[in-house]
Amino acid sequence: MRNVMMAKGAGTVVNRCAQVKEGETVLIVTEASRMSIAECLAEAVCAAGAQPVLSVILPRERDGQEPPECVAAAMKAADVFLCVVGRSITHTQAVKQAVASGARGLVLTHFSEEMMVHGGIEADFPSIAPLCKALAAKLAGSKTIHLTSPHGTDLTYSAVGRRGNALYGVVESGQFSTIPTIEANVSPLEGSANGTIVANASIPYIGIGVLEEPVVCQVRDGKIISIEGGRQAQLLREDLEKKNDPNVYNIAEMGMGMNPNCYFCGFMLEDEGVEGSVHIGIGTSITLGGTVKAACHYDLIMTGATVEADGVVLLKDGVLNKETILA
């Protein structure tokens, strides 16, 4: 019965988002614990007249860890790759090189059977694409982006020379997207970010999830220099310290959620897609237009924020300024 319920979500992923065509080869990278989801996707691929190939890998030890070399090579060779994994492989050379080779891919990190049925997966992805693309274009190349929130966030940075990234769940050749999040993001120029980040909504990694109380990070010259708060702040601080990698503190991304069906539940790609939310990504930035490769990429998510790009208000108190974005 559960597989029947997941079939609609699998059809959305395969047909509307990956746009799988008859005769194509679709590589599904998964783990043993997520086989029910992978099998539903494979059935949808078969129904589209394409060839599914399942690759079952051991769970990665950390986010950003590369998949096995043979899997990376298969991702490059496939027409489409779908990654149904626990630890994120979004920010890896494997994804970057597969896309550069012309493959199109979707990353379904931490996907549960419930997420295949309800929540962000129910969005009308193609209809949101124009707004997402327009917002990414507004962020691209901005001299000064200013992020504030009533919870205490006050961060400025430069995106000069940086592209805007529109992740709206629909991919063409040479593109990848995460799903079900819909977001526009940009990678700040290394060393340019300064100020305060206050995550009040979620840090959906390492067992933190939906926040009990705010996590406050001070930023100087593009890197976090302190993390304060309660129990969850301590978890983040200790995890980053254990990485023994100064690049994990890099301000790698600012993204704005745009999926009206997403909700905060503690899972990364559901939480960061919540419409009107803002997340600051730390660590790796190489797949977003930055230059930093780190031992992880974590998102610190806030609500009620305001975003100005070169003085133009794109988000006000957690509400997208759609008329300005589309102008």
* DSSP code, position 294: -
Place 90 in a pLDDT band, splitting at 50, 70 and 90.
confident
Which percentage of the chain shows pLDDT scores above 90?
90
Q: Is the dihedral of CA 10, 16, 17, 20 positive or negative?
A: positive
Nearest alpha-carbon partner for 256 in 158, 168, 184, 156? 184
Does the N-terminal peptide bond of residue 246 adopt cis geometry, omega within 30 degrees of 0? no
Task: Verify that 35 and 174 share a domain, yes or no.
Answer: no
Task: Verify that 84 and 171 share a domain, yes or no.
Answer: no
User: Using CA atoms, how far apart are residues 254 and 279, in angstroms rounded to an integer?
Assistant: 6
Q: What is the mean pLDDT of the chain?
A: 95
Task: Verify that 49 and 86 share a domain, yes or no.
Answer: yes
Q: What tens digit of pLDDT does each residue of 98-111 get?
A: 999 999 999 998 88
Instruction: Determine contact, residues 71/94, Cβ cutoff 8 Å.
Output: yes
Beta bridge partners of 227: 217
Instruction: Determine contact, residues 283/292, Cβ cutoff 8 Å.
Output: yes
Task: Among 53, 82, 117, identify where a domain stops.
Answer: 117
Nearest alpha-carbon partner for 179 in 68, 20, 17, 58? 17
Please give the residue range of the domain that contains residue 54.
2-117
Task: Verify that 102 and 181 share a domain, yes or no.
Answer: no
Whether 2 has a pLDDT exceeding 70, the answer reads no
Task: Among 93, 117, 141, identify where a domain stops.
Answer: 117
Q: What tens digit of pLDDT does each residue of 148-157 get?
A: 999 999 999 9
Task: Among 58, 89, 117, identify where a domain stops.
Answer: 117
Beta bridge partners of 283: 297
Task: Verify that 156 and 44 share a domain, yes or no.
Answer: no
Q: What is the CATH number of the domain that holds 72?
A: 3.40.1830.10
Question: 3-state DSSP call for residue 295?
Answer: coil
Place 1 in a pLDDT band, splitting at 50, 70 and 90.
low
Whether 63 has a pLDDT exceeding 90, the answer reads no
**Counted domains in the chain:** 2
Q: Residue 124 corresponds to which amino acid?
A: D
